[in-house]
Amino acid sequence: MQKTISIVGAGPAGLMAAEVLCAAGHEVHVYDTKPSACRKLLVAGIGGLNLTHSEPYSEFIQRYYEKSNWMNIAISQFNADDLREWVHGLGVETMVGSSGRIFPADMKAAPLLRGWLKRLRESGVNFHMKHRLVAMQDKQLRFEHKDNTVQVESDAVILAMGGGSWPKLGSDGAWQTMLAEQGIALRELEAANCGFLCDWSEHLQGKHAGSPLKNIAFNFTTLDGQILQRRGECILSDYGLEGSLIYAYSKHLRDSINAKGEAELSIDLLPDRNAAQLIKKLQAKPQGKDSLSKYLKRTTGLSGAKAALLYECFDKQQLQENLANCIKAVPIRFTQTAPLKKAISSAGGVCESSVDKQLMLQQLPGVFCAGEMLDWEAPTGGYLLTACFATGRLAAQGVCNYLASIENSL
């Protein structure tokens, strides 16, 4: 029998849930605080919309760290291949980039979203925009809409309101108080895929803020002794470091800061040469009367922001006595993450213990959670979107099973 389902949040998780529930024959209503759907997805798509990743599933699922087993329940039922096929069903072709990341062939988010929303509306999904959820009691919801209060009662509810990053796009984490008041176990939201703060000198901030650090390598030892090494690039900002390479380390750096009050990694400024090769090259070309900066540029090619990092982290005597090793291991100390509102995504949220295997809240039967509201995190590379789509789909299947169980008990 047709039932009425309310979905709060018009992001990828909420819309995927709406699609599954509408296909199952239910009346679906999607509410969102913003005037249009998937605003965060559109902003993320400015750089090409990284949908998912093509790496083997055994490696893919490990990107969710200690939550891999939990996320496997959803993602094993809607993996990267399934997501690509679903996108193709919208008339959008996909491509695999050189890094294995998967994008729309035209590298645009808007055509995919337009096609999806059109299909959802034609299938009967009802959209209610500019509706902010302000209260919830069981399956009874209260929204603020313009200057009015809207009361909604449904047979089941899916909450897909996002985490706490990019609050101006709708994911402000305000739901935490609402759920905590009803005894739902939550882990505090924290910044993920974010920049980290360093105590730079005024000279470095003034001269090199915004400069890219290309072709470098990070070396970091995690709390459990694992040694992480990775090449890439990042940006030297006025507050510290940001960019793709630092984002890849964000969980481990944040864990270290939470445990010890700080995190330290070393940067290899010339990863294409080992220390022995660099020492040999420097010995073959003595400094002579050159200044250190001129000598560095002449022998190693280091200048600009890379050279500035050396001067920032080592004194003159250290550089003169052990230049090669200094270049190969520049120590960078972080004291905290950049603010959550500036992060690409967030960690924390509704704990795994708070929901059943199909993401229904244990203490609120008929109320489900999906997407970034749940306590998981992943690096950039398509893993974030994949998990949002997959958990939205799993929650919708959970709603169908929940409603069926009620019918069978009558």
In this structure, the answer to whether residues 28 and 172 fall within a common structural domain is yes
Query: Which pLDDT value is given to residue 60?
Result: 98
Q: Does one domain contain both 129 and 259? A: no
- Identify whether residues 187 and 202 lie together within a single domain: no
Q: Do 151 and 24 belong to one domain? A: yes
Amino acid letter for position 220? F
pLDDT in tens, 203-261: 999 999 999 999 999 999 999 999 999 999 999 999 999 999 999 999 999 999 999 99
Q: Final residue of a domain: which of 337, 364, 381?
A: 337
Among residues 337, 371, 399, the one where a domain terminates is 337
All residue ranges of the chain with pLDDT < 70 are 1
Per-residue confidence (pLDDT) for residue 286, from 0 to 100:
87
CB atoms within 10 A of CB 241: 26
- Determine the pLDDT at residue 46: 87
Model confidence, pTM: 0.94
Same structural domain, 267 and 373: no
Distances (CA, A) of 184 to 134, 139, 141, 178, 370: 17, 15, 17, 9, 15
Domain extent, residue 252, equals 196-337
CB contact set of 106 (below 8 Å; sequence gap of 6+): 92, 93
- Burial group, residue 212, by CB count within 10 angstroms (0-12, 13-18, 19+): middle
Tokens of 130: 């500019």
Q: What is residue 407's predicted lDDT score, i.e. its pLDDT?
A: 87
Any idea what the CATH number is for the domain that residue 106 is in? 3.50.50.60
Predicted pLDDT at 85: 98
